[in-house]
Amino acid sequence: MDTPNTKSEVESVGTGSRATRILGVATIMGLALAAYMALVSSPQDENMGDVVRILYIHVPIVTMAYVGCGLTSLGSVMYLWKKSQWWDITAAASAEVAMVFTALTLVIGMIWGRPTWGVWWVWDARLTSTAMLLLLLLGYLAVRRLQADAATRSKRSAIVGLLLFPNVIIVNRSVTWWRSIHQGTTILNTLKPKIHDQMAVTLVVAMVVVAMLFVWLVIHRWRLTWIETQLDAHELDLAIAERRAEATGPAETAP
Partner 1 sequence: MLRDAWLITRKDLRIEVRSRIALNQIAPFALLMLILFAFALDPDSGVLDRATPGLYWVAVLFSALLAIQRAFALESSDGNRDALRLSGLDPAGIYLGKVLSIATQLALLEVLLGTGVVLLYGSHGGNWLLVIATCVAATAGIAAAGTLYGVLAAGLRVRETLLPLLLLPVLAPVLIGSTRAFEAARSDTIDQGWPWVGLLAVFAVAYMVFGMFGFGPLLEES
Partner 2 sequence: MEPAVHLRSAVALIGRFPALAGVDLDVERGEVVLLEGANGAGKTTLLRALAGLVPIVSGEAVVLGHDLRSDRRSVRRHIGLLGHTTMLYDELTVDDNVRFWAKAARTEPVDAEAALVALGLSGRLRHVAVARLSTGQRRRVSIATMVARRPELWLMDEPHAGLDSEARDIVDGLVRQASQSGATVIVASHERGRANALAGRVVTVAGGVSNVA
Instruction: Kindly give the residue spans of alpha helices, DSSP state H, lying in the chain.
Output: 7-12, 18-36, 54-82, 85-117, 125-144, 150-181, 197-245
- Spatial separation of the C-alpha atoms in residues 144 and 155, rounded to whole Å: 10
CB-based contact 126:119 (threshold 8 Å): no
DSSP state of 43: P
**Long-range Cβ pairs for the range 186-190 (8 Å, 24+):** 186/122, 186/123, 186/124, 187/113, 187/117, 187/119, 187/122, 187/124, 188/122, 188/124, 188/126, 188/127, 189/124, 190/47, 190/48
Nearer to partner 2, 111 or 251 (CB): 251
Given candidates 2, 11, 149, 197, which one binds partner 2 under the rule CB under 8 A?
Answer: 149
Q: Could you tell me which stretch among 53-61, 63-71, 151-159, 247-255 binds partner 1 (CB under 8 A)?
A: 151-159
Contact call for residue 78 and partner 1 (CB under 8 A) = no
Say which residues have a Cβ less than 8 Å from residue 40's Cβ, sequence separation at least 6: none
What is the rounded distance in angstroms from the CA atom of residue 97 to the CA atom of residue 236?
Answer: 29
- The stretch among 40-48, 53-61, 156-164, 242-250 that binds partner 2 (CB under 8 A) is 242-250
233 binds partner 1 (CB under 8 A): no
**Which residues in 111-140 contact partner 1 (CB under 8 A)?**
132, 135-136, 138-139
- Nearest distance in Å: CB 154, partner 2: 13
Stretch that binds partner 1, among 16-24, 177-185, 197-205, 220-228 (CB under 8 A): 177-185
Q: Is 238 in the site for partner 1 (CB under 8 A)?
A: no
| Cβ partners under 8 Å of residue 251, min gap 6 | 242, 243, 245
The residue from 130, 167, 202, 225 that contacts partner 1 (CB under 8 A) is 167
Q: How far, in Å, CA of 255 to CA of 179, rounded? A: 55
Least distance (Å) from partner 2 to the CB of residue 253? 3
- Stretch near partner 1 under the rule CB under 8 A, chosen from 26-34, 51-59, 99-107, 147-155: 147-155
- Among residues 9 and 232, whose Cβ is nearest to partner 2? 232
Q: Which is nearer to partner 1, 84 or 174 (CB)?
A: 174
C-alpha span between 1 and 248 (Å, rounded): 38
Between 13 and 239, whose beta carbon lies closer to partner 2? 239
Binding to partner 2 in span 181-210, by CB under 8 A: none
Q: Under 8 Å CB-to-CB from 50, ≥6 apart: which residues? A: 44
Binding site for partner 2 (CB under 8 A): 148-151, 232, 235-236, 239-240, 243-248, 251-255
Binding site for partner 1 (CB under 8 A): 132, 135-136, 138-139, 142-143, 146-148, 151-152, 155-156, 159-160, 163, 166-167, 170-171, 173-175, 177-178, 181
